[in-house]
């Protein structure tokens, strides 16, 4: 688990969902650089957090982020909680200090 304190660990410049999504993908990739899981039988394992910068057809640079997060098995029966509360941790890691500042 990579614990965060929402009041102190998320940089103040993260003020949109887009920035939060990008920061989250980058942080999870940073603390889990080699963790991979086989999502489909007999296929190559995929890293649980992947990020890339690509140049789109229009010439603009775009960030691509992909996460593979395990979800608790009771997610479908337990509608008392939002789906995101059913996300299970990748492991026990620490968020680097560089991700906590502007």
Query: pLDDT tens, position by position, for the chain (102 residues)?
Result: 789 999 999 999 999 999 999 999 999 999 999 999 999 999 999 999 999 999 999 999 999 999 999 999 999 998 899 999 999 999 999 999 999 999
Give Cα separations from 6 to 3, 9, 20, 27, 80 (angstroms). Answer: 9, 6, 11, 14, 23
**Domain range summary for the chain, segments of one domain joined by +:** 17-91
**pLDDT value, residue 25:** 97
């Amino acid at each position: 688990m990579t614990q965060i304190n929402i009041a102190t660990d998320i940089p103040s410049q993260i003020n949109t969902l887009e920035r939060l999504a990008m920061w989250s993908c980058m942080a999870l990739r940073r603390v889990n650089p080699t963790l991979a899981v086989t999502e489909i039988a007999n296929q190559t394992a995929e890293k649980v957090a992947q990020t890339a910068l690509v140049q789109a057809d229009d010439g603009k640079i775009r960030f691509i982020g992909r996460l593979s997060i395990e979800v608790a098995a009771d997610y479908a029966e337990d509608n008392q909680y939002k789906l995101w509360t059913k996300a299970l941790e990748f492991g026990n890691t620490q968020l680097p200090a560089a991700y906590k500042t502007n």
